[in-house]
Amino acid sequence: MNGIVNLSLVPLRAEDNECSEMISQLLFGETVEIMEWKERWLHIRNLSDNCCGWADRKMITLLSEDEYENLKNNENFRILKAVSFCRNLTLGTTFLLPGGSILRKFQNGNFTDGTYQYAIHPSDAGMPKPLTGGNIVSLARQYHFTPYLWGGKSALGIDCSGLVQVVFSLCGVLLPRNASQQAEIGEKINSLTQAEAGDLAFFANSAHHIVHVGILMNSHQIIHASGWVKIENIDEHGIISEQTGNYSHTLYSIKRMI
């Protein structure tokens, strides 16, 4: 069985309880596969990135097979701004939609999730932008100063791989959820001197495990989420903290997704 998210954000947890770690978030309009059903909890797979976890049953709207196929086969527009105000026309309520939210049957600012009718400002959404370094950097800048949140995927709180994933989705590229997974794909770039805007820089700990990722703005600057989304200098050794002047992350590899 499948379901759809018609709330702004839904926490995806490692275990089936409210105290469990939030490993990711589900964005409005994302669809899920329900793999296990408990009284209060659903073990689901996010069909956008294959990330699996537990979601509160009340937060997922179930879809019949016909409803799912109808929604799946419609063009997916996305919220292209970091955040947008949305009006639920059916219920007469207003709420926020985070960037990357999926809108189906979108036309002139109106769209549906199969249950409700919605409206937003038409300029807040559109088809994914062309995949260029300039667009990746421009979209990432929308999240500048967003606070860091483990598992977060919105302008209210975001983690390093969440920033990368959401920004690339706005250019039509669906990347895996975690930095270590993202590091496994793309074209390897040998050094920062060959790097271009939009390339991804990955960072490792002393055990050579990938623990961080950021978006290169050019060969010497990076935008990344660490404490908050910030722009800092980078060299062949790693990221240079703007606060301390010391290295905060050790460069491991550079990948090009464009």
Of the candidates 51, 160, 171, 249, the residue annotated as catalytic is 160
Of the candidates 51, 52, 86, 212, the residue annotated as catalytic is 212
- Strands 102-107, 76-79: parallel, antiparallel or unpaired by DSSP? antiparallel
| 189: its two tokens | 């770039």
Q: Is 209 among the residues known to form the active site?
A: no
Closest by alpha carbon to 2, among 73, 77, 67?
67
Of the candidates 52, 171, 224, 249, the residue annotated as catalytic is 224
How far does the chain reach from its first CA to its final CA, in angstroms?
A: 34
Judge whether 104 and 117 are in contact, CB under 8 Å.
no
The three-state secondary structure class of 131 is: coil
Indicate left, alpha or beta for 142 from its phi (over 0: left) and psi (-120 to 50: alpha). Answer: alpha
Q: Is 212 among the residues known to form the active site?
A: yes
Q: Is 52 among the residues known to form the active site?
A: no
Annotated catalytic residues are 160, 212, 224
